[in-house]
Amino acid sequence: MIIENRITKISKRLSYILRHEPQRYKVTLDKEGWADIDYLLNSLHNFKDLTDLKKEDLLDLILNQEKVRFVIKKNKIKATYGHTIELKRNTSTIPPPDILYHGTSHKSIESIIINGLLRMQRQFVHLSIDIHTAIETGKRRDGNPVIIEVDSKTAYKEGRILFYKGSDKVWLSEIILPKYLKVIN
Ligand code: HQG
C-alpha cells in the first residue's frame, strides 16, 4: 500500500520516462512504446526516493489508476497517451464519440480560434471525453479554463481527421480545424 503523494510522484516519473525521455533513464521502448517492467523498475530505483519501490506496489498503482495513463501487457508497460516521442502509428483508427472537449487557457484561445487545435509538442492533439476531464486538463494552465466543444463526428466524417482512443477519458487526434470548434464558456 503506497500513500497518495507518493503515487502521484511515481506516476509523474513514469509518465516522463515513457512519454518523453526513455533513453535518459536507460529504458528502451519498442516501436509502439512498450517497455519491459523490470527494466523500468530498475530505472525508477535510481531516483533517491524510489530506491525501495517494490514491483507489487508499481503494479498496484497501475491497476488502480484514477485516470488510465498506463497499460500493462505480459511483462510490458506503455503510456496510453501524452507522447512527445514518435511511435509507430496504430493503424486501427476508430470513429470518435460525436462530441469531445478540450480545456485550455485564456492565453491560447485566440490562436486556437484562428489556427485550430494543434498538437504542439506532442504527437497528437489531446481531447477529453467529458467536460469535467476537460476542466481538469485546462486547470493545469489556467485556474478558470476555457472549454472547447469539438464536433468530432463531423471532423471524422467530413474532415477525414483520424482519431485514436488514448484511454478511458482521453482521445487523440490529428489537427482539428477551427470550423469544428466551439467555445462553450
Ligand atoms: C494548446 C495531461 C495556441 C492546448 C492532460 C494546450 C491531457 C494551442 C497546449 C494531456 C493551440 C498544449 C495533454 C494553438 C493547442 N495555439 N495554443 N493553435 N493548439 N494549444 O500539455 O491537451 O495528466 O501538450 O490547448 O490531462 O493540455 O499528464 O496538451 O493548452 O490529457 O496524464 O497548447 O496531458 O494528461 O499542451 O494535455 P499539452 P493538453 P496527464
Judgement on whether residues 174 and 115 belong to the same structural domain of the protein: yes
Taking the centre of ligand 1 as the mean of its atom positions, its distance from the CA of residue 126, in whole angstroms, is 6
Q: Is residue 111 part of a domain?
A: yes
At residue 2, does pLDDT exceed 70? Answer: no
Domain count, the chain: 2
| Residue 75 structural domain | 4-79
124 Cβ neighbours under 8 A, 6+ residues apart: 81, 83, 164, 166, 172, 173, 174
175 shares a domain with 108? yes
Q: How many residues does the chain have?
A: 185
Output the pLDDT for position 1. Answer: 56
For 99-138, the pLDDT digits (tens) are: 999 999 999 999 999 999 999 999 999 999 999 999 999 9
Provide the grid cell at 47: 531516483
Confidence bin at 95 (pLDDT 50/70/90): very high
Q: Do both 105 and 179 map to the same domain?
A: yes
d(CA 34, CA 77): 5
Asked whether residue 67 falls in the same domain as residue 104, the answer is no
Which residues lie with the beta carbon below 6 Å from any ligand 1 atom? 15, 69, 82, 104-105, 108, 111-112, 115, 117-118, 120-122, 126, 137, 141, 170
Sheet with 35-36: list strands edge to edge: 35-36, 76-79, 70-73
Output the pTM of the full model.
0.95
**Are 51 and 10 part of one and the same domain?**
yes
| Ligand 1 centroid from CA 119, angstroms | 8
